[in-house]
């Protein structure tokens, strides 16, 4: 298995005295990479140390095949995190596919799991819907991606970039859309569900159903915007993370 340094990318520098700071582990969306969370890391530095999971198949891991089974991906990420114990409370933050992955990793880690889970822009595992976008042809898939706003339209309009991006995004869509929860759970940690108030793929009723997946405290937070509302709301998202830190510290 690749070294933890390939899986976990530190996104901002922290002073020596911040080594005991709470740690936020971010899980990207379908087609996303660790660097997508750099704006959040900048907002939180130096109070919260931000790491992001780098999935196989992108950036410095471009020569590795993408993982098309979300449970397999969760197994591998959980193994990495179990081998890198946190020196301070660890919070998970996942957006879209990343929310489900963060949840599945938390289940696998048990007592080593996060002090708080923040699930963004994704229906709860109990509200899985059958979708098969990963089977669309390239033109239709590119159109759907552009509609959601997660990938710059100019990148998809460039034939060379499109040829590089679409297979990766298709693989992630396959992992996300074929996911079905297995028996187990719920979690016991605090869980915060976030949603955009105009998200066409994660209606707030479905996001609210994350309450079924923890016995710990739960709350739903909404922010203006569609599926990728975070891109316009990083300061507000950072405030929500900071507000979760005292509760995480209390649990620790």
Residue 73 sits in a domain of what CATH number?
3.40.50.1820
Predicted TM-score (pTM) of this structure: 0.92
Q: Is residue 139 part of a domain?
A: no
Number of domains in the chain: 1
Task: Specify if 22 maps to a domain.
Answer: yes
Report the Cα 70 to chain-centroid distance in Å: 12
Q: What is the pLDDT of residue 1?
A: 47
Q: Is residue 14 part of a domain?
A: yes
- How far apart CA 101 and CA 96 sit, in angstroms, is 9
Q: Decide: helix, strand or coil at residue 79.
A: helix
Residue 68 in any domain: the answer is yes
Look at residue 161 and tell me if it is in a domain: no
In a domain, 167, yes or no: no
Question: Which residues have a catalytic role annotated?
Answer: 96
Of the chain, the percentage scoring pLDDT greater than 70 comes to 90
Longest dimension (CA), the chain: 51
Rounded CA separation 3/33 (Å): 17
Q: Tell me, what's the pLDDT at 250? A: 45
Range of the domain at 204: 4-125+183-244
Flag whether 25 is in a domain: yes
Taking only the tens place, the pLDDT of each residue in 82-95 is 999 887 889 999 99
Are 51 and 8 spatial neighbours (Cβ–Cβ below 8 Å)? yes
Question: Is residue 150 assigned to a domain?
Answer: no
Q: Is 187 exposed, middle or buried (0-12, 13-18, 19+ CB in 10 A)?
A: buried
Span 32-78, pLDDT tens digits? 999 999 999 999 998 899 999 999 999 899 999 999 999 999 999 99
Q: Return d(Cα 180, Cα 90) in angstroms, integer.
A: 26
């Amino acid at each position: 298995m690749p070294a933890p340094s390939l899986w976990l990318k530190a996104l901002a520098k922290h002073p020596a005295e911040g080594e005991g700071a709470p740690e936020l582990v971010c899980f990207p969306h379908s087609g996303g990479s660790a660097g997508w969370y750099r704006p959040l890391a900048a907002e939180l530095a130096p109070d919260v140390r931000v790491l992001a999971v780098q999935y196989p198949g992108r950036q410095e891991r471009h020569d590795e095949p993408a993982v098309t089974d979300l449970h397999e991906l969760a197994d591998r990420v959980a193994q990495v995190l179990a081998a890198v114990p946190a020196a301070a409370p660890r919070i998970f933050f996942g957006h879209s596919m990343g929310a489900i992955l963060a949840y599945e990793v938390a289940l696998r880690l048990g007592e080593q799991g996060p002090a708080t889970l923040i699930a963004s822009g994704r229906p709860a595992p109990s509200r899985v819907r059958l979708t098969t976008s990963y089977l669309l042809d390239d033109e239709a898939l590119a159109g759907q991606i552009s509609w959601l706003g997660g990938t710059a339209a100019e990148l998809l309009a460039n034939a060379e970039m499109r040829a590089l991006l679409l297979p990766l995004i298709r693989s992630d869509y396959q992992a996300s859309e074929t996911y079905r929860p297995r028996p187990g759970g719920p979690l016991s940690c605090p869980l915060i569900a976030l949603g955009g108030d105009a998200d066409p793929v994660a209606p707030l009723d479905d996001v609210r159903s994350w309450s079924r997946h923890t016995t710990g405290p739960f709350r739903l937070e909404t922010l203006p915007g569609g599926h990728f509302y975070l891109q316009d709301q990083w300061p507000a998202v950072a405030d929500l993370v900071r507000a979760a830190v005292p509760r995480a510290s209390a649990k620790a």
